[in-house]
Structure 1
Amino acid sequence: MIAYNSFTRNRAGGQGGAIYFQAEDVGFHNNTFVNNHADVNGGACAFFYTGSAPTNISSVNNLFANNSANRGGAVYTSGRKLRIVNNTIVNNIDTAQAGGVVLSPTSGREAVVINSILWGNQSLNTFNEQFSTGQSFNTYFYNCDVQGGVGGLGGTGNFDSNPLFVNASSGPGSHINALSANWRVDSCTSPVIDAGDRDTIFDSEYQEFDLAGNFRNTRGTIDVGAYESFGTSNEGAWTSGPICGSDSNFTIWAWHPRGIAPNSTLVQADTGAGWFTVNNAMFPEVNISNDTIFFTNAPLDFSGAPGRVINVYSCFSDTTPAWNPEVIATTYDTVTIYSCSNDSVYLGGAWQNTSDFYIDTLVNDGGCDSILTTELVVYLSPEVDVFDTICFGESFVWNGNTYSQSGEYDDVRFIFYPSIGCDSVTRLHLFVRPNLAPAAADTTIGCIGQPVTFDLTDPNLVSYSWSDGTNTGIASSFSITPSNFWERVFVTVTDVNGCSSNITRDFLEFQFDAYATQTDQSNDPFIEFSFAVGPPTNASDLYWDFGDGDTSHQATVTHEYTSNGNYNWCVYLDGLCGLDSTCSSIGIFAVSIEDYTSENWEAYPNPVHESLFINLKQSESAKIRILNLSGAMVFEEELSGIREHALRLSELASGVYLLEYESEDEKVSLKLVKD
């Protein structure tokens, strides 16, 4: 992209006096090409197509004046696509083909010229003064001022009228000094003013400012050529929006369709006494920017005043009013709403719950004030508090509900007013007094036939009522003489808060129990038991007899039996109720793990690995059983014949077992170890 450059008095012995391109795509805008020369093609610019890909050439807002060449005094191109937009191509000259623009006759080319001036160009040897194109070129002109017309070329909106430049150079050619020429047009009478069309320009090639840096109109019509003039018509101007009648000052902004020249523009208004000029001396806040006028903080008497723009040139300007602002009056409304006293409504900038009138300033459909007066009617939502106290264990029935714990409980009812319904809340504040009575149950250990006293003396208790079903009492203590191992008495106590509680007291006869537990499951040749006395153990003395001659005075003791047999063990104690005892028995049958032999039979080896041998010496038959320590039988076999019998026990798991031998003559149990 080549932009904002000035190319003057350049010379080339071949192509392109100022610029020579062989690139595929090129664009240039807002440049001036004045008094350049090329001996061959393109006095200012020459573009050549060098490959198979399309070449796009775009020229926007450029001035080509008084350039010269053999072909194409201003531009020579063989590019595929050429777009010339808002160019001023004037007083260029060539000697062979066309003084303005020459398109090489290569096939498949296209040229589009839009909103441009081609005027005063000259070719010395041909009749194509402004534009020359080969027959294979598709060429279109739109809204262009072309001297001599466009002939049979395509396009619309073209015309052939003197542009009326302000100060053109004296003639065509690079030998004529054109640096001081002024290629603007007469702002009052030039035919190119408003003769262009903004909509024919691609957005990508539109330039916001013209070649001189002046604002280029963005809407509707624009000027033809590289320069934009300032218009004289107010037609189509508009204001930004309505003015509110309640405003003490306001802002107006108006758009002018032709752009505005700040130094030659008058802004006028009519407040009822005729048109007058609004200037910075009397109204400092009038600003003009490009095509827009701003009235900032305008006084109130401007609210309904029509306005217009007068452009001061050598010709008369249109004085049609440019705008007539609409003044929208403030609207007023009144509403009534209803609320309950326990609710709030946001009115007047705060939350309200009091009956009154509140004013809010809203925005109506026109964007102006809407004053809303709201009458707030507040109805009572009554709240009633109920307080009550109950004793622990009691219940309180209220509004169909039963409560037994301290707390606050609401009963909400609905009250219908003329326009609304409100809640009515009754709140129960319930307090449950703490339980000051002793524990609900207690047990006293004693002896049948001996007096037992229950004592409930407590500073929190004020009265007592005892009963055992036969006798009664009102003191803090109560005595009975039990005749059964368990008896119960009942007492009703009243605490200092006046709350009553029914509790019980139990008598339980002193009893004890004793336990014997085998503690050794190993292969030790002796059997070990643990002996203990169960609760209660408040005995003054105790005595163990293990049935094998050993004794002990310990409450818990471990004892080993060293031989087989049935042993009756007893424990004696001098307890709460005098001398007492309990007895039981233990069968010891497997103290030894040695081989067994008798006159009738023998068993070996013990411990056994795979086979156990049973030798029947006298009995003709016997039954052999093997049990685990849980009593489950794991092996059984009947033997017959006086001889040695082998029992295969390899499937048994290692451990201690019981071997039972049974015949007509005897029955024996032995401890058997499988390794």
Structure 2
Amino acid sequence: MKELYNLKTIFTILLCIYTSGIFSQNIFREYQDGKIWFKLKNEQVIVLPKNHSGQDKTSYFNLPLNTLSFIQELSLKYNIIKLSQPFVTLKSSQELLRTYELHFSDVGLVEEIIKEILKSGKVEYAEKVPYNQLVWTPNDPQFVSNQWGLVQISSQLAWNISLGNAAITVATVDNAVQTNHADLQNAMWVNPGEIAGNGIDDDGNGYIDDINGFDVADNDNNPNPPSSQFSHGTHVAGITGASTNNGVGVASIGAGISIIGVKATGNNDNSNSITNGYAGITYAAAAGARVINCSWGGTGFSQTAQNIINSAWNSGSIIVAAAGNDNVSTLFYPAAYNNVISVASTTTNDVKSSFSNYGAWVDVSAPGSTIMSTTPFGNYSNMSGTSMASPMVAGLLGLMLSHYPTMANNDVITCLLSTCKNINTQNPNYIGLLGAGRIDAYAALQCVDQAKTAPPTVDFVADITEACKVPQQVKFTNNSFNANTFLWDFGNGNTSTQTSPTHFYTQSGTYNVKLVATGNNGVDSLIKNMYIVISTPQSPTATGDTICENQTATLNGSGNGTLRWFDAPTGGTLFGTGNTYTTPSLSVSKTYYVEDLISGTTANVGPVNNSFGGGGYHNNGTSQYLIFDVLKPCTLLTAWVNANSSGSRTFTLLNSSGVVLQTVNVNVSAGQSTVNLNIPLTPGTGYRIGGNNMDLYRNNAGVNYPYTLNGVLNITGSSAGAAYYYYLYNWEIKEDDCISERTPVEATVISCVGVEEFISGQVSLYPNPAKENITLEFMLEESGNIQFSFYDISGKQIINSEIVHGIQGMNKKQFNVKSLSQGFYFLHIQKDNQKKTFKVIISE
């Protein structure tokens, strides 16, 4: 689970491109006034209420404030209006069961209230609620009566394979859907578990009388538009699944599928806004929608929203979303979230629509300019936007699932993307930025048709195949097709049945990896021999020490790099570095562990500086970035920049879904300089690094992607396409260090008792270390016979014992140690039953 992320700039716009410029938010334009989402920590106990009809309206849509003690305390200080659990109906998600929405009238105190909620210590995070707004463009004054988009994607040929299946439901989460429109009424989903008009939640899904869908914004069962201004959702629904071949109005790509109408805008809200879009996704997923369309979005990230998307995906829904209409590459959510198909818009000649967003995060393109569809009340009109392209994809997915209802979602998406028409020729400035291409309905249906009878095919990849330290985490990605159960064998005695597991290798070795996939039409398997190679440096040699109680031990080691001393065979505490380690005073024997660290190599990648092609300083408020792939664990140490002005700059690292992984603030002077970044990188594709308002040089000509550091890292493109290179030149990359397996080293503590009773005063043993002779001076309390013995560190006696008579007072005894080889030894002195031990070091 990711850690808490603060909401970024979230001005969310419905994608039918309408440049009205109307904003209803007073405090933060990007967030809804008077609303906060927060998630309880997992250890907090929750009790789920039940929906009731009649006089008792207590439900998870309007909880008593004393449901949570810290909220009740908060209500004494602030004007709290309502507490709810808007996403609780997706009961399979523990995250959403613990997510609450708080409504309050002190809208200007939102940051203060968030801090108060966090101070309770009972929540994992608290965040403002994204504001979503419809985006429209004016209609072409020349009304176009044909549906060119359906012709463009070869829908007629696709309908020869499937005319849709009413059992396949596609949800339209939008501002409203006219359920009794002549071209929609026979295509609307009818909830089989509800009895209309009885005021009871018959199917127990948390929604009363949700016959054709639900209004999650007003918490009622009427998803219909209150006025003609709420036309966007009805238009989107018609593109997805208007009744086809009925002699009325328009056809749709979904043909015979069913539409779940989810109204996510309140009757009293701006019709261009989507105030409850994520609650709408939750409802649609809980209702069993196979596909959920979201023709809206914004430019900010929300962890709660990502959690909702993940939960919907895990419950079996494919989520499709519009990429946005600002003609920029800025990440747009929910389209840019993990587990969402992001859709850009194209025109009649497969050229990117002038308004459509683009970027490496876009998955696919579809017709979205001047699209005719249904509008309230019983009308038809043309609209343009990625709002129109997104339902074209959602409807096609519904058509594909109609032909093969049990096909795995990942495989359906594979058929959708792998059969797209390449439109690079028509869009030379957007290569790699419009997804897999423009959808081809006929080719996609052919792919599905073949899959119905084809056996499964197995393939997989690992993010790391070579490593030089243990334990090593390896993430496996399953690229198998037409399979639904899996069995992995990692080659070290461990197995897994997960689809795409993560495995830890704990020992050096070369491992074969096997995957067996089972589908409706058979079994397939694949073995990749010698696929994972863990080759750690040779473990260091080490010598322990034997000491008396409450003395320090000196441990010695030898290796090829930097020795590091620990207290555990893996993990543990780092106590010291170097060839020698001196322990603290020990009263009992202790095992230490030493490893050898070989420092990783350092190299550079990317243009050395900006002295190629054209360019200039760039200070745009829109974030621009470089895109790169990491093939091996490494660290981005430094990079060269050319600044127009001195001051602080913030570089942001994001993953391929736009999740912020790290931010680095650096101070730069005007002109050319090298900045320290020290950003650790793990294997993955589609990373982005850049920022906004950078006032740094960037090239717009002479760029030649990819820039490669073989086997380590490749810089593959930029947010603005292949012609641009942004900000960071001459990357200094350091590969991860190689670390050996650890060698155990013993610090042995022996009992040296009775010393005080026969030896007193100063004791001298010199020289120590010694080569030929060593002298012991000591004082006896009383005279008597004393036995001297030499032992090695294993406890073996190596010089015959010698007995001499000691006198009361000072005694001196010299020993010839010429015969002893270099190393550690112990001199034992015994008088009667009392013993004293000294450590002796013999040098070369």
Greater strand share, structure number: 1
TM norm structure 1: 0.28
Length-normalised TM-score, structure 2: 0.24
- Larger Cα Rg: Structure 1 or Structure 2? 1
